[in-house]
Structure 1
Amino acid sequence: MQILSFFALPSLLACGVAAVPSQQQAELAFDALQGWYNESIGLWIPSTGWWNSANCLTVIADLAEINPDVATKAEAIYPNTWSNAQDYNLQLQKTVAAPEFLMQSQHGGNLPKHKTTGFLNNYYDDEGWWALAWIAVYDVTGDRKYLRTAESIFDDMAKAYGTTPCGGLWWSKDRTYVNAIANELFLDVAAHLANRAGAKKSYYLDFAKKEWAWFKQSGMINSQNLINDGLDNATCQNNGGTVWSYNQGVVLGGLTELSRATGDDSYVVKGKLIADAAIQNLTDSNGILHDPCEPDCGADGSQFKGVFARNLQILQQYSPEPRYATFLEKNANSIWKYDRSRRGNKLSLIWSGPFVKPANASTQSSAMDVLVAALATQ
């Protein structure tokens, strides 16, 4: 992969940084993230968007699992977001076009309340992000209200499974595109729920197995073990779309949870092939992760890399590899040293540096995913 020359300048020093980020650093990053939290609506808006807010909630829950001080601070965030965000479920307009296949979300600045059906909207990937967020909150709180919310979101996704001419799940209810992220999220949510839903395990496990069986033969995984963005509508063949970091990431969580649910580690073996290919192809010479859209990734691409780190954490905790721990530590330390504002501990887009203004809740939560992953897997 060719990385723009300015990526490498500050990170020439990063390769020598070995220490795991501290709990204090992660907590400072959390405090900065909460500076963008709109308490009245339970979202990190207008700093970032609807699906990004689900990722903000997820990284907070993940950090709360390992940081008691954050766990205490977060106790009020979960019910506030659960109660209020549903009233402001954004009616997004999202576009994705060749050749980059970079999502672009658009929503108005006004946020009037409107009738909503929980955390459902017109996009199945958005629904998947919220399902995973509430599963993460359930894991840290034990409150089954959040698990039931995730189950209800999954049920809406499941209604669309197998309705495309190519198989799998549509990206949106407009039925315009069969892409990787919606299908990976469907796998990931199903596999997560299979390990948490008790008597309904077989229901979710069946969906997870079917989705993976379809996905691995769909053609979206190319000969390099990298996942392109989606399928061509006319041919149902790999569309050659951009290899985004988050498409290499979500599948890792799904395959790890599927291995946990079945006891079959062949899923994790495949996950490691994908993880290794991503690290080889999407990092600079110092091992720092980049997406091809940098330095301008818009409102959506700024979230992608943290998703990879979060799911590599899930894989690493289940089946540790020293190379993954090294990758997470390098990226976390590079972020803190080279991608942090001089004041306020804000974290930006380019993890090798330099800090690019303005940071927002998307870049902050994405970078936090790496700090949390490095801490959780040390």
Structure 2
Amino acid sequence: MSWIKALTPVALLALTIPSYGGPTTYPPAPLLVCPSTTKTAFAIGDRLISKWYNATLGQMFDGDFWVDCNTWEDFHNLMLDTHSTRYESLTTGSYLAKAALDPTTDWAAFLGGSNDDSLWAVLSLWKMADYRKWRREDPSAWLNAAATIWDLIAHEWDDTCGGGVWWSTAHTYKNSITNELFLLTSAEGYLRNGNNTYLDFAEKEWDWLYNSGMRNSEGLFNDGLDLATCTNNNQTAWSYNQAVVASGLGALYVATGSKNTTLLEQAQISIDATLKAGSGLIDNGVLRESCDDATLGGSICNHDQQLFKGLFTKHLSYLVSYASTPFPTPQSISIALKYKPFFTAQYTAITHNALNSTDDVGGVWYAPAGGNEAWQPEASAAGLEGVIAAAGYGKC
């Protein structure tokens, strides 16, 4: 077959060797990671810990809870990808882990009614559990906490605007990211525990998202719905919204038997719309949020927005991983090759434009920021995500 002849020896090897060590982690870790790229990832990670992490509190200084959840997920991804124990203390010492290890934790009170933050926490807890399993240790505390949180959010589903979960327990908004995360955690949850309730929610969540109108004519998901009309509110189409739905569809593809390739095609619609020139999210092949401006005195993304580019790269890497599960196919290889230049370009941009001599990462990737970068933990966490994704799926 012509597609086989075009493969490198490593890609041919991937046809016969699964890209993960059994059910140790979801999504499956990359088969191989680039040593030089992971060296950069560890340098950024070490700097994040030394500069921003308060070990007593188990939190990042100047960080937000949802950002911390993603950062802890990133550190565990890096350890699992490289078979390292370098940041093992986060598995028990981080704020979220401490709560998981405390059987008296009131999760509804702990999470404060923020449903999207809650689902980021689920993803983080699962990755901690994966690490514990890899270390042949009991992951049940982390898994139980994640299950409790997911169940809280499942109860946030109602018929307002035809379905979907609420952004918060105040029930004032239904938006893209919360429902995309619910799609992902429902599909991935089914892969982890085989509970059909998760799969049922994943399938009806995608059906609702697909018909919600939140994806615009350009193929991009806007922020959410206008509750008065249950129509697209046409607010900003952030990069991370386009990739989290893609990773959720990748997980649903595997959860439904890795046969419904339409799910992978749908996943690529918003990814490709993001990477299309003129989307407002890409600048010469490098991610650029609407708030990114390399010009001195220009706009600077806020704390939340600084993480979005990293989340796009991370969740696109999750899509590539899920597409190859349980084994590579011509379609999954095509997807991996299609986005490989993108991952490589982000790594080049991060290391050339955003990374300083002390391994901090600024908030602007597309060009040297010239003093307008944001040197904050969210920006470094985004850079870490971009580098980890490139280590597994970019050019070495």
**Which residue does 1:193 correspond to in 2?**
189
Summarize the alignment of residues 263-282 of structure 1 with structure 2, pairs less than 5 Å apart. 263=257, 264-280=260-276, 281-282=279-280
CA separation of 1:360 and 1:85: change in aligned 2, threshold 3 A:
farther
SS at match of 2:226: coil
Summarize the alignment of residues 114-263 of structure 1 with structure 2, pairs less than 5 Å apart. 117=108, 119-142=110-133, 143-198=139-194, 200=195, 202-263=196-257
1:51 paired with 2:66, answer yes
- C-alpha distance in 2, partners of 1:283/1:358? 18
TM-score of the superposed pair, with normalisation by structure 1: 0.82
- C-alpha distance in 1, partners of 2:184/2:107? 25
How far did 1:51 drift?
Answer: 0.8
- C-alpha distance in 1, partners of 2:110/2:125? 10
1:303 to 300, 307, 316: 307
Task: Give the share of equivalent positions with the same residue, in percent.
Answer: 32
Contact 2:157 2:164 in 1 (8 A): yes
- Alignment length (residue pairs): 329
Q: Which stretch of structure 1 is more off in the superposition, 125-134 or 144-153? A: 144-153
How far did 1:73 drift?
Answer: 1.6
How far did 1:164 drift?
Answer: 2.8
After superposition, the C-alpha distances for 1:211-268 in whole angstroms (9 at most, x for unaligned) are: 0000100000112211011111100001111110111111011100000110222211
**Mind listing any 5+ residue stretches in structure 2 that lack a counterpart?**
1-33, 134-138, 294-299, 324-331
**Which residue does 2:290 correspond to in 1?**
292
RMSD: 2.2
1:75 paired with 2:88, answer yes
| Larger RCO, structures 1/2 (Cα 8 Å, 6+ apart) | 1
How far did 1:189 drift?
Answer: 0.8
- C-alpha distance in 2, partners of 1:366/1:315? 18
How far did 1:194 drift?
Answer: 0.8
- C-alpha distance in 2, partners of 1:86/1:118? 14
**Which residue does 1:349 correspond to in 2?**
363
Q: Which stretch of structure 1 is more off in the superposition, 229-238 or 128-137? A: 128-137
After superposition, the C-alpha distances for 1:355-375 in whole angstroms (9 at most, x for unaligned) are: 545412111111111111111
Contact 1:56 1:361 in 2 (8 A): no
Contact 1:41 1:85 in 2 (8 A): no
Contact 2:360 2:380 in 1 (8 A): yes
- C-alpha distance in 2, partners of 1:80/1:362? 20
SS at match of 2:225: coil
- C-alpha distance in 2, partners of 1:24/1:360? 21
- C-alpha distance in 1, partners of 2:255/2:280? 30
- C-alpha distance in 2, partners of 1:21/1:225? 35
Contact 2:185 2:248 in 1 (8 A): yes
Contact 1:21 1:333 in 2 (8 A): no
TM-score of the superposed pair, with normalisation by structure 2: 0.78
**Mind listing any 5+ residue stretches in structure 1 that lack a counterpart?**
1-18, 88-113
How far did 1:21 drift?
Answer: 5.4
After superposition, the C-alpha distances for 1:276-319 in whole angstroms (9 at most, x for unaligned) are: 11111245442000111124111111111111111110112222
Contact 2:37 2:390 in 1 (8 A): no
1:336 paired with 2:340, answer no
Amino acid at match of 1:28: A
Amino acid at match of 1:255: L
Stretches (4+) displaced over 3 A = 82-87, 114-119, 282-285, 355-358
Summarize the alignment of residues 27-106 of structure 1 with structure 2, pairs less than 5 Å apart. 27-35=42-50, 36-45=52-61, 47-68=62-83, 71-81=84-94, 82-84=96-98
Q: Which stretch of structure 1 is more off in the superposition, 78-87 or 309-318? A: 78-87
Amino acid at match of 1:348: G
Amino acid at match of 1:353: A
Amino acid at match of 1:24: K
Contact 1:44 1:56 in 2 (8 A): no
Contact 2:97 2:142 in 1 (8 A): no
How far did 1:171 drift?
Answer: 0.8
SS at match of 1:72: coil
Contact 1:21 1:332 in 2 (8 A): no
CA separation of 1:27 and 1:191: change in aligned 2, threshold 3 A:
same
**Which residue does 1:367 correspond to in 2?**
383
SS at match of 2:146: helix
CA separation of 1:77 and 1:27: change in aligned 2, threshold 3 A:
same
